[in-house]
Amino acid sequence: MKFVFAALLFVAVTIDAAEPLSRVYKKVADHELKLNVFNPPDWKASDQRPAIVFFHGGGWVGGSPKQFLKHCEYLATRGMVAIEADYRHIAKGDKGPPTDCVHDAKSAMRWVRSHAVELGIDPQRIAAGGGSAGGHLAAFVGMVEGLDDRADDIQVSPKANALVLFNPVFDNGPEQGWGHARVGERYKEFSPAHNISADDPPAIVFLGTKDNLIPVAVVERFKANMTKAGVRCEAVFYEGQGHGFFNPGRGGSDQYFYETLLAADRFLASLGWLKGEPTLSKP
């Protein structure tokens, strides 16, 4: 099947993408949580490909894995196994922290790593990506210890080996952090920005300068603290852009979808995970 990226400001990119494989990674009561797995065209089970697991945004209360459909399709053509992860949302009326969300994010990463052989991936090259609340979950699995699902095999590490974060709400503290009303005094249990350490994975962060949820200062502080800990962290700011600016079709065009995905491609290539030049067309 062929998918064509809509483009108003740049030449369309045509991608040959197979239908994703749906895999159940966890069952909670009668509910099945699934992963959609996008394989490269020349994928073989004997491969050891880099992989990326995407977590969608939606304030921990909603959203769909399809938010990162086009990201997965593209990165699969670049040789990665790209995965969309579903997870439980905070129930309507619940004012508490996103405990089920972080449980599921860690469970998803553990499932992917423990099934690396059949997925044809390298268990030491599994990135986590996400936007907004999904960016929080991606950063969480890379940086925060604890809050594991009791049903998980904790001998399997959920730790991401790289982070690709689109306007992530990764600071849940009292100083301009988002979600502090939910986590309260437990913010150090949930907030990646308050769990920075030298063993954190390299990260790239994208933010619009007019984001109404995440001040530029929060990302700058995160980057400075990561650098101080000796961890590579790139922060890329987009002048005048608001929250969710990176989504395909936002504002009537794919300009910032293109720009952020291109930068993510180059970041992953700099880690040695992708080869050759990006195949997205310039605006």
The 10s digit of each residue's pLDDT in 232-269 is 999 999 999 999 999 999 988 999 999 999 999 999 99
**Which residues, including other chains, have CB under 8 Å from residue 64's CB and lie 6 or more apart?**
56, 58
Share of the chain above pLDDT 90, in %: 90
> Is the pLDDT at 111 greater than 90, yes or no?
yes
276: tokens are 């050759």
- Of 4-13, 83-92, 206-215, 230-239, the least confident: 4-13
Q: What is the pLDDT of residue 18?
A: 65
- Whole-model pTM: value is 0.93
Residue type, 234: E
- % of the chain with per-residue pLDDT over 70: 93
Q: Is residue 137 predicted with pLDDT exceeding 70?
A: yes
Helix (H, G, I), strand (E, B), or coil: what is residue 32?
A: strand
Torsion of Cα atoms, 103 then 104 then 106 then 108, to 10°: 160
Would you say residue 10 has pLDDT above 70?
no
> Is it the case that residue 283 has pLDDT exceeding 60?
no
Instruction: Report the alpha-carbon distance of residue 118 to residue 126 in Å, rounded.
Output: 14
Res 14: pLDDT? 39
Show contacts of 223-227: CB within 8 Å, 24+ apart. 225/193, 225/196, 226/196, 226/200
Least confident of 3-17, 122-136, 139-153: 3-17
Is residue 15 over pLDDT 80? no
Looking at every residue in the chain, the average pLDDT score rounds to 93
Number of Cβ atoms within 10 Å of the Cβ of 131: 29
**For residue 45, is pLDDT > 70?**
yes
Angle between helices 69-77 and 255-270 (to 10 degrees): 40
Domains in the chain: ranges and CATH: 2-270 (3.40.50.1820)
Find where tokens 């769990």 sit: 195
Rounded Cα–Cα distance for residues 60 and 66 (Å)? 15
**pLDDT confidence of residue 251:** 85
Say yes or no to pLDDT of 90 above 60. Answer: yes
pLDDT on residue 282: 67
* Mean pLDDT value across residues 146-164: 98
CA distances from 119 to 15, 17, 42, 47, 101 (A): 21, 17, 13, 8, 24
Q: What is the pLDDT of residue 11?
A: 32
pLDDT tens for each residue of 25-41? 999 998 999 999 999 99
Residue 12 has pLDDT above 60, yes or no: no
pLDDT at 252: 87
The pLDDT value recorded for residue 175 is 97
Q: How confident is the model at residue 6 (pLDDT cuts 50, 70, 90)?
A: very low
